Structure 1
């Protein structure tokens, strides 16, 4: 992908990233993926996930979205799927659908991405029970239009909580540093650009978008596995090893959305059957 046009439109921050931390994450990624078919298997799985999102959330398809389809696609959004039940099981789904249409319908404008996400989040209560709303917006935008929108979930970077991938690869003693870069579109765009450049130097020349996602996921999965107690712990409490946390963060573990009476059947397409150990 190419973000030169984006760079001319918005002001990008300076990120003081640690090459050693990134290298460590990349090594872990290759080692973990090797245990489950190799990294290319994961790359293809992410591509399939993105195809599924395009088929549901693209501008030409979202008007046809129903509660059943939304519940099924939610299995691929780990920080969303355990919390969306009330918006799938009641008439509140139409409220959610209207908000999603407002999120994906506008043509891309680099200067208005943050505004669109804030407008989407404003449709829901601003409390701890709805922190997943930002992640939903981030997952939908990124997986539907991955070339335009980098991954912008809270676990990538949450300024208020001072946690995320950016903190884990920040240069220096992060326990003594308050990172002040905003958790906005420009930051995530710059992060993807810098990680892409690093991957190019390491010989990765294709599927860069997916490789960056995998690298970021591995970096934060390693943090979750080592630390526990984060806001993601409830989502990944059953993971036993590095690959388990990696799969759950990617939403490739085959876990269904949490809805009343378990009325939404699993996806029978076998999209990610190579990963589902359950």
Structure 2
């Protein structure tokens, strides 16, 4: 009898989780077209495998700098090196690379990473991280910083949850661009930008990629595919999205690289797109993930 009751409780809990999961209507044709575009667009810089390697290296840099308590002794220079690879963060983070503000940043990162093994607290920890900074339009990048940190230090547990992936308040992001509905341009998606939504989205994209013959580095391929689809949207809008971050594209993958932070170091130089408060370009040695020849 007790066994039956325990099984019933587990079944009820599983049903509750399933009921809470959002139903996502994704467009297969859009995914297929963008996957082919990604493969073709990556060729001039060494092929799609080089992009995958660059994203994996980016993750390694975050792990080496932040895990095992290293965030506690992290220098502003090290943190600045990470910010180089976060396009929506690097233009606004400069005030937090000095003095007491940097101490606040490190403490917030520590709280964000504490208990990361328990993904049920993901939304609460992200909210707490954001509340450690002013809650205004000038600090919307803080959400992206939290999402990038979690994703890069623990990509298996945490899918990419940046605003360009999905921002329910703005009703913009990758999710909207891949939504299967002829009336999407006139719709407001009522899908929360929570951990459960993003993990559900990743599961569906993983299934799509494996069904299309991709079995290695699937999680990294997902990031590249999502960035390609949202980059197409940016191009269609004439670069109006985050105009201060995005200039006119010189090649099909420029916006994709920008979204993924792979454009952080300027080609042929070790100067980066991260600038200090006085406007001096941050210099980074030996971390050019994807230099254009």
Long gaps (5+) in structure 2:
1-12, 266-271
Q: Distance in 2 between matches of 1:134 and 1:57?
A: 18
Given candidates 99, 104, 115, the residue that maps to 2:124 is 115
Counting only pairs closer than 5 Å after superposition, residues 195-210 of structure 1 correspond to structure 2 as 195-210=205-220
Deviation by residue 1:46-82 (Cα, 9 ceiling, x = unmatched): 1100000001121432112121111111000000000
Given candidates 241, 259, 262, the residue that maps to 2:276 is 259
RMSD across aligned C-alpha pairs, in angstroms? 1.8
Bigger mean CA deviation after superposition, 195-204 or 56-65: 56-65
Give 1 or 2 for the bigger CA radius of gyration: 2
Q: Residues 59, 114 of structure 1: CA spacing in aligned structure 2 closer, same or farther, 3 A cutoff? A: farther
Answer whether contact 1:76 1:251 (CA < 8 A) is retained.
yes
Select the structure with the greater relative contact order (CA < 8 A; seq sep ≥ 6).
Answer: 1
Q: Distance in 2 between matches of 1:94 and 1:231?
A: 32
Q: Distance in 2 between matches of 1:100 and 1:22?
A: 34
Deviation by residue 1:203-250 (Cα, 9 ceiling, x = unmatched): 000100100000001011111122145442211125323211111111
Match of 1:68 in 2: 77
- How high is the TM-score relative to the length of structure 1? 0.92
CA shift, 1:265, in A, is: 4.4
SS of equivalent residue, structure 2 residue 200: helix
Q: Residues 148, 119 of structure 1: CA spacing in aligned structure 2 closer, same or farther, 3 A cutoff? A: same
Match of 2:229 in 1: 219
Counting only pairs closer than 5 Å after superposition, residues 139-178 of structure 1 correspond to structure 2 as 139-173=148-182, 174-178=184-188
Answer whether contact 1:74 1:256 (CA < 8 A) is retained.
no
Given candidates 150, 173, 180, the residue that maps to 2:190 is 180
Aligned length: 270
Q: Which runs of 4+ in 1 moved over 3 A?
A: 7-11, 228-231, 261-265
Q: Distance in 2 between matches of 1:176 and 1:208?
A: 32
Q: Distance in 2 between matches of 1:264 and 1:72?
A: 12
Q: Distance in 1 between matches of 2:278 and 2:116?
A: 38
Answer whether contact 2:84 2:90 (CA < 8 A) is retained.
yes
Match of 1:57 in 2: 66
Match of 1:246 in 2: 256
SS of equivalent residue, structure 1 residue 256: strand
